[in-house]
């Protein structure tokens, strides 16, 4: 056989002789999120799919194996994805197709530390990718993926205004206490009002008759603050300023209040300081 014909043959033979793990090129999470959706691997709410990770499965750059599943969703829907396996330690990721990083990921849903459950509120309409993953490079075997999609929580669908945002469910990580003064940051990943301004949402529990003083200060954007009774769909006090916005009011009812911090200048972002305090009642 001429040498020119023998070389390609040798190259193919050499590749075929390599272990599958050596033949499979490593992928990043961003690479996987940008792959075209496979219609045969779509999953609907209430469905459970079975898959298996093997040497021939797609490989992340940490050498762990993955398989991809897809679902369609709309902004505001609440999604839970569960990955279970009796063969390996699972690690599930969920992200928007075409994105650069997962919106949520989880590697430990149960006391045994093997199964995974990822929960998120969808930030936009579109196709989402479920990355069924093993926690490490040794993970192989069968697994199941279960998908649950629930309707948007109050305030998560329709126009986003300060009033409608007060309808949103209070998240534990966003709950604050009176007497706190802390720093945070508004960035492009935060949710936005209908006018395009990003915001952050906090919650505080107060007693009826409390005189409250809430203030937000920023050197990087002109801040605004809105305060409303959580679940009311209305704003009780609001203010905006070039550098420091503050409101003072007497709580008419006991309960949880929504505190919205945002910029008044388009999509401006940056750090800020939020202060929540109980003031002395006026004489």
Q: Determine the distance from the C-alpha atom of residue 142 to the mean position of all C-alpha atoms in its chain, rounded to a whole number.
A: 27
- Provide the pLDDT for residue 269: 92
- Provide the pLDDT for residue 230: 93
- Provide the pLDDT for residue 111: 56
- For the chain, the 3-state helix, strand and coil shares in percent, each to the nearest 5, are 10, 45, 45
Percent of the chain beyond pLDDT 90?
Answer: 69
Structural domains in the chain, CATH included, are 26-150 (2.60.120.380), 162-279 (2.60.120.380)
Query: DSSP character for 27?
Result: E
- Provide the pLDDT for residue 134: 94
CA atoms of 86 and 189, how far apart (whole Å): 36
Q: How confident is the model at residue 109 (pLDDT cuts 50, 70, 90)?
A: low
CA atoms of 168 and 165, how far apart (whole Å): 6
**What does pLDDT average to over the chain?**
87
Q: How confident is the model at residue 171 (pLDDT cuts 50, 70, 90)?
A: confident
Per-residue pLDDT tens over the stretch 213-233 = 999 999 999 999 999 999 999
- Provide the pLDDT for residue 12: 39
Instruction: Please determine, for residue 173, whether its predicted confidence score (pLDDT) is greater than 90.
Output: no
Q: How confident is the model at residue 279 (pLDDT cuts 50, 70, 90)?
A: confident
CA atoms of 4 and 124, how far apart (whole Å): 54
Q: Report phi then psi at 241, rounded to 5.
A: -165, 170
β 126-134/90-96 pair status? antiparallel
**What is the SS3 assignment for 192?**
strand
CA atoms of 269 and 189, how far apart (whole Å): 10
User: Residue 185: which of 96, 268, 276 has the closest Cα?
Assistant: 268
CA atoms of 232 and 29, how far apart (whole Å): 40
User: Residue 117: which of 136, 138, 98, 132 has the closest Cα?
Assistant: 132
Q: How confident is the model at residue 22 (pLDDT cuts 50, 70, 90)?
A: very low
Instruction: Please determine, for residue 10, whether its predicted confidence score (pLDDT) is greater than 50.
Output: no
User: Residue 201: which of 159, 237, 241, 173 has the closest Cα?
Assistant: 173
CB atoms within 10 A of CB 266: 11
- Provide the pLDDT for residue 21: 41
Q: How confident is the model at residue 79 (pLDDT cuts 50, 70, 90)?
A: very high
0.75 exceeded by the pTM? no
Per-residue pLDDT tens over the stretch 127-164 = 999 999 999 999 999 999 999 999 988 887 778 899 99
Per-residue pLDDT tens over the stretch 44-66 = 999 999 999 999 999 999 999 99
β 199-206/175-176 pair status? parallel
Q: Dig out the tokens for 226 from the structure.
A: 């809105």
Q: How confident is the model at residue 24 (pLDDT cuts 50, 70, 90)?
A: low
């Amino acid at each position: 056989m001429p040498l020119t014909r023998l070389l390609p043959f040798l190259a193919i033979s050499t590749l075929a002789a390599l272990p599958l793990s050596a033949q499979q090129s490593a992928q990043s999470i961003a690479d996987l999120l940008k792959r075209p959706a496979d219609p045969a691997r779509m999953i609907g709410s209430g469905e459970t799919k079975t898959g298996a990770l093997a040497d021939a499965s797609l490989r992340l750059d940490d050498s762990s194996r993955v398989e991809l599943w897809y679902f369609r969703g709309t902004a505001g829907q609440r999604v839970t994805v569960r990955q279970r396996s009796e063969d390996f330690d699972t690690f599930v990721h969920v992200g928007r197709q075409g994105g650069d990083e997962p919106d949520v990921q989880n590697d430990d849903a149960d006391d045994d530390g093997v199964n995974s459950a990822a929960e998120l509120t969808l930030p936009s309409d579109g196709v989402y990718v479920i990355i069924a993953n093993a926690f490490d490079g040794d993970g192989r075997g069968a697994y199941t993926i279960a998908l649950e999609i629930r309707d948007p929580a109050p305030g998560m669908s329709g126009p986003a205004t300060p009033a409608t945002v007060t309808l949103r469910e209070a998240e534990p990580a966003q709950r604050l206490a009176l007497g706190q003064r802390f720093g945070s940051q508004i960035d492009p990943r935060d949710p936005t009002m209908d006018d395009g301004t990003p915001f952050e949402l906090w919650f505080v529990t107060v007693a009826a008759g409390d005189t409250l003083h809430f203030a937000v200060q920023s050197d990087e954007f002109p801040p605004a603050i809105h305060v409303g009774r959580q679940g009311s769909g209305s704003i009780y006090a609001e203010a905006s300023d070039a550098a420091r916005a503050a409101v003072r009011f007497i709580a008419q009812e006991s309960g949880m209040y929504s505190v919205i911090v945002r910029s008044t200048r388009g999509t401006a972002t940056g750090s800020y300081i939020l202060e929540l305090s109980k003031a002395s009642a006026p004489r």
